[in-house]
């Protein structure tokens, strides 16, 4: 493997690790009806919205500060998000369990071997008091 290929593989794995922190359980919910959300207020949250930093801090219509904090927290740029989902499909997302465990299964749509098509990405545990 060349240095360039190794760097590409490290970059891909870093993006997958970052993507595993996406709150994919919010897909299909609606953005809160807030004036500052402009044309996105009261619209459905999409797969791309979850990772896109444009919507970082936006909350859902079900959001309550203490009891039910449903806030987007993406760290990808818009183009990075588009390129990520052009390469990977999100197949299954396990939202936080009672113990704080969460994982996401991605499929590499551009993989050239059957062995490297699926990537299981674990997120750090979010412990709740």
Task: Report yes or no on 123 lying in a domain.
Answer: no
Q: Which domain holds residue 66?
A: 3-88
Residue 58 resides in a domain: yes
Does any domain span residue 54?
yes
SS (H, E, C) the chain: CCHHHHHHHHHHHHHHHHHCCCCHHHCCCEECCCHHHHHHCCCECCHHHHHEHHHCCCEECCCECCCECCECCCCECHHHHHHHHHHEEEEEEECCCCCCCCEEEEEECCCCCHHHCEEEEECCCCCCC
Mean pLDDT score across all residues of the chain: 90
Q: What is the mean pLDDT of residues 54-82?
A: 87
Q: What is the pTM of this model?
A: 0.85
Is 66 domain-assigned? yes
pLDDT for residue 129? 62
**67 — pLDDT class (breaks 50, 70, 90):** low
Q: Within a domain: residue 114? A: no
Is position 98 within any domain?
no
Residue % of the chain over a pLDDT of 70: 94
Within-domain flag for 17: yes
Greater confidence, 128 or 124? 124
Q: What confidence tens digit (pLDDT) does each residue in 94-123 have?
A: 998 888 889 999 999 988 876 678 999 998
Does residue 26 have a pLDDT over 80? yes
d(CA 56, CA 17): 18
| Counted domains in the chain | 1
């Amino acid at each position: 493997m060349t240095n360039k290929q190794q760097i590409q593989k490290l970059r891909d794995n870093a993006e997958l690790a970052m993507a595993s922190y996406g709150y994919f359980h919010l897909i299909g919910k609606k953005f809160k009806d807030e004036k500052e959300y402009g044309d996105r207020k009261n619209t459905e949250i999409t797969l791309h919205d979850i990772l896109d930093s444009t919507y970082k801090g936006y909350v859902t219509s079900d959001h309550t500060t203490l009891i039910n904090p449903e806030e987007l927290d993406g760290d990808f740029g818009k183009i990075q998000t588009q390129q990520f989902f052009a390469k990977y499909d999100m197949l299954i997302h396990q939202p936080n369990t009672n113990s704080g465990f969460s994982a996401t299964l991605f499929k590499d749509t551009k993989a050239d071997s059957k062995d490297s098509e699926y990537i299981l990405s674990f997120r750090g545990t979010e412990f709740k008091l």
